[in-house]
Chain A
Amino acid sequence: MNNRRRMIHSAAEIVIGAVLLITVRLMDGDSIWLGMGGALIAVGAVQLFLGLRYRMDAEYRERTDTEAADERNQFIRSRAWVWASTGFVLIGGVMTIVFQILGRQELSTLCGTGVSLLVLLYWLSYLVLKKKY
C-alpha cells in the first residue's frame, strides 16, 4: 500500500470511528461499539500522523523504506510469524486438553477448532506455495 492510499485508509478509519461513536452515543447502544469506535479513531489518527511524517520528513521516509525493504527484517518478520503460530498451536492444543479434563466442553471445542483451523490454513498455504515455487 503506498503512502497516499494509507493516508486515505487512515482518514476513512477516523470517519468510520467517529460515525460509530456518535451513532452509539445517540442510540444509547452497547459499550463494545463505543470502544471499537474509539479504537478506530486512535489507530487512524496514529497512522495518519505517521503518513504525514513520511511525507514531510525525508530522513524518516528513507529509514522507513529501508526497514520495509530490508531482507533481514523480512526474514525476522516471517520467523516471528512461525514462532507465533507454533506457539498458538501448542498453547491451543494444551488448553484443549486442559479444558476437556476440567469439563469445560465449549471452551475445549473452541480451542480445538482454533488449532484445527490454523493447521488447515497452513496446509492450504503450503499447497498454494508449493505450486508457486
Chain B
Amino acid sequence: MKNRIEEIRRMRGIRQEEFAKAMGVSRQTISSLETGRYNPSIFLAYKIARYFSMTIEEVFLFEESEDER
C-alpha cells in the first residue's frame, strides 16, 4: 500500500527519529513504512493519521488491485 508519510513528515519538518518516538516504534519501522516495504496495522495507521491530524485515507492510498503483504 502506498502512503504519503514521508511527504507529510518532510512538509512538517519532522525528523524520522522524532516521528518514530511519537509513534512508539523504531526509526527503521518508519523508514520501512515510507519506502512501502512494510504495511502498518490498522492501529499504527490510525495513530499516524491522528498524529498528522488527517484521516487514514489522506495518508494511506489504497489500491483495489493490491495484494496483501
Chain A's closest residue to B25 (CB) is: A70
Contact (A66, B25) CB under 8 Å given A71-B44, A72-B32 = yes
B35 to chain A, nearest CB (A): 12
Max chain B Cβ within 10 angstroms of own Cβ: one of A71, A72, A75? A72
Query: Is the C-beta of B55 less than 8 angstroms from some C-beta in chain A?
Result: no
Query: Is the C-beta of B65 less than 8 angstroms from some C-beta in chain A?
Result: no
How many A-B pairs have beta carbons closer than 8 Å: the answer is: 27
- The number of residues on chain A lying at the interface, defined by a beta carbon within 8 Å of a beta carbon of chain B, is 8
Bound: A69/B21 CA distance, A: 12
B6 to chain A, nearest CB (A): 16
Query: Is the C-beta of A73 less than 8 angstroms from some C-beta in chain B?
Result: yes
Bound: A75/B25 CA distance, A: 13
Chain A residues contacting B24 (CB-CB under 8 Å) are 66, 69-70
Bound: A89/B43 CA distance, A: 34
Chain B's closest residue to A67 (CB) is: B26
15 contacts between A and B (CB under 8 A): A66-B25, A67-B26, A69-B24, A70-B24, A70-B25, A70-B26, A70-B29, A71-B29, A71-B43, A72-B25, A72-B26, A72-B28, A72-B29, A72-B32, A73-B26
- Using a CB–CB cutoff of 8 Å, the interface residues on chain A facing chain B are 66-67, 69-73, 75
- Using a CB–CB cutoff of 8 Å, the interface residues on chain B facing chain A are 20-21, 24-26, 28-29, 32, 38, 40-41, 43-44
